[in-house]
Amino acid sequence: MSIDAWNQLRHLTNARIALGRSGGSLPTRARLDFQLAHARARDAVHSPFEAGELASRLRTLGHPVLTVNSAACDRAEFLRRPDLGRRLAPECRRLLEEQASQSLPFDLVVIVSDGLSAQAVATQCEPLLRALLPLVRRSGWSLAPLIVARHGRVALQDEIGVVVKASLSVMLLGERPGLGSADSLGAYFTHGPSIGRRDADRNCISNIREGGLTTANAAAKLYYLIGKSFQFRLSGVQLKDDSAALPPPRDKRRPRLA
């Protein structure tokens, strides 16, 4: 492929192609750009998660919000011990159990956690939920209080779903940063959450960020797939995404699930 052809491809992707060379090395500009992207990815992983501030912002969406912690005591332990990020701290489990004892089972619970990029959650979560919650309300699904969880891994949605008695759990959390996307959010959902669920039992919408999947499109896709999950009572590899072949979801009433 000619040099001109490579240069044309550079305008179509953020991938690091056609960087050129200086002798046997990369040009200084390309090397510095790589180092900057690497530093941003490290910052995304180690940045603190302002859970209280995010919870305050989410309350402006007109829905109750609870803040909980995983079993990881701090960011360092969370990174060293992934297993602790998959469990609730005992006192937080008791809090949710107390809340659940005063309510009927829910169709849906939405959890927000920092995962491996607090920056992604701080940037993408509020606009995503601002687009998603009106769709959920119009659907007729009952929604548990929004839950902001510090130091959470994907599987934390299983325990929370069990405790609040939700038919389906959604986890929004920061994805592992890449060298071109330190602020990418992932949305995972599981029908019939239970402790010990496998990754094959979940569906994931990835790369939610500016330059990737927009929050508005992610909300529409998530709403559509949740509807299919309720319809067929399953999630994971058995649930296929055919939303690309359909128009955006319209406002239509759905009966509340028993």
Q: Is the dihedral of CA 236, 194, 168, 65 positive or negative?
A: negative
In a domain, 35, yes or no: no
How many C-beta atoms surround the C-beta of residue 177 within 10 A?
A: 22
In a domain, 23, yes or no: no
Q: How far apart are CA 103 and CA 206, in angstroms?
A: 32
Residue ranges making up the domain that contains 223:
50-245
pLDDT digits (tens, 9 = 90+) for 216-245: 999 999 999 999 999 999 999 999 888 765
In a domain, 86, yes or no: yes
pLDDT digits (tens, 9 = 90+) for 176-222: 887 778 889 999 999 999 999 999 999 999 999 988 899 999 999 99
**Is the distance from CB of 172 to CB of 110 less than 8 angstroms?**
yes
In a domain, 258, yes or no: no
Predicted confidence (pLDDT) at residue 43 exceeds the cutoff of 80: no
- pTM, two decimals, is 0.84
CATH of the domain at 130: 3.40.50.11240
In a domain, 124, yes or no: yes
Percentage of the chain with pLDDT > 90? Answer: 64
In a domain, 252, yes or no: no
- pLDDT at residue 64, rounded to an integer: 95
In a domain, 21, yes or no: no
Number of domain units in the chain: 1
How far the first Cα of the chain sits from its last, in Å, is: 60
Query: pLDDT-based confidence at 3, cuts 50/70/90?
Result: low
Q: In what order do the strands lie in the sheet with 166-174?
A: 65-69, 146-150, 106-113, 166-174, 185-191, 202-208
In a domain, 169, yes or no: yes
Q: How far apart are CA 53 and CA 126, in angstroms?
A: 12
Predicted confidence (pLDDT) at residue 30 exceeds the cutoff of 90: no
Sequence-ordered list of residues with C-beta below 8 angstroms from that of 92, at least 6 positions apart, any chain:
68, 69
